[in-house]
Amino acid sequence: MHASSPDDFIYTLTGRVVAGDPSDEVITVGKFRAYYVDANAAFNYNKVSLYDIFDTYQETVDYYEAIYDINSEEFSEKLLKALKADYLIGNVLIIDRLEILPAFRSYNLGLITMRRLILRFGIGAGITAIKPFPLQFEMEIHRDDDWKEQLVLTAFDKNSRSATASLKKHYRKLGFVPLPGTPFMFLENDKTLPSVADLRR
């Protein structure tokens, strides 16, 4: 039996958002990437440092200090206060990126997709975390140029501050709340999510 390593407890989830009748050819209308941190298994059975787990990926490491008390590795009081929660238990789902093609951004398809990701992959997770960041300001590295061209990011708001504020307002519709002093937003997964019908309005 091999010794556990931090990357044994963080799982990368990637996929496509598709549209179309199952009887017809489906088309890709979006892509997503998420991470699932199995904090319970790491802490209860293997005593692997949660920091080391979050440090597995550049995209996840900064979440650690926003989520946990670094001394106890329990959910931080600041996070509990932001979520108005007495306590939190479970693992962590991080939705790292969600990209939807322009023709399919109407009717809040992005939020509806995120809702589905939470329901599908958030089982066992006490919270879902996101970092609202406008993709048009992302550095030009490791990009699929053809896909990026289809996203038409140049059509988005050119002001970073107002674009980020708009994204945060958008994600509040799903129930996410900002954590003061950080760029992150969080959702307590025990809360009832808005219905698809409500999100389409």
> Both tokens of residue 16?
């496509």
> Both tokens of residue 159?
């002001």
Q: In which order are the strands placed within the sheet that holds 91-100?
A: 10-19, 27-37, 91-100, 125-130, 185-188, 177-178
pLDDT of residue 113: 94
Question: For the chain (length 201 residues), average pLDDT per consecutive 10?
Answer: 80 91 77 96 83 96 96 94 94 94 82 96 97 66 62 57 84 97 97 94 82
Instruction: Enumerate the β-bridge partners of residue 28.
Output: 18
Kindly report the pTM of this predicted structure: 0.88
Nearest to 83 by CA among 189, 173, 165: 189
| Amino acid residing at 145 | D
The residue with tokens 């708001």 is: 157
First vs last C-alpha separation in the chain: 53
Residues constituting the chain: 201
* Residue 133 CA from chain centroid, whole number: 11
* Residue 20 CA from chain centroid, whole number: 25
Contact 90, 153 (CB under 8 A): no
Nearest-angstrom CA–CA distance, 65 and 91 = 15
Nearest-angstrom CA–CA distance, 127 and 68 = 12
Alpha-helical segments (H) within the chain: 39-41, 50-54, 58-61, 63-67, 77-83, 109-121, 145-151, 160-172, 196-200
Nearest-angstrom CA–CA distance, 112 and 125 = 19
Q: Where are the domains of the chain?
A: 6-200
Contact 39, 50 (CB under 8 A): yes
Helix (H) or strand (E) holding 150: helix 145-151
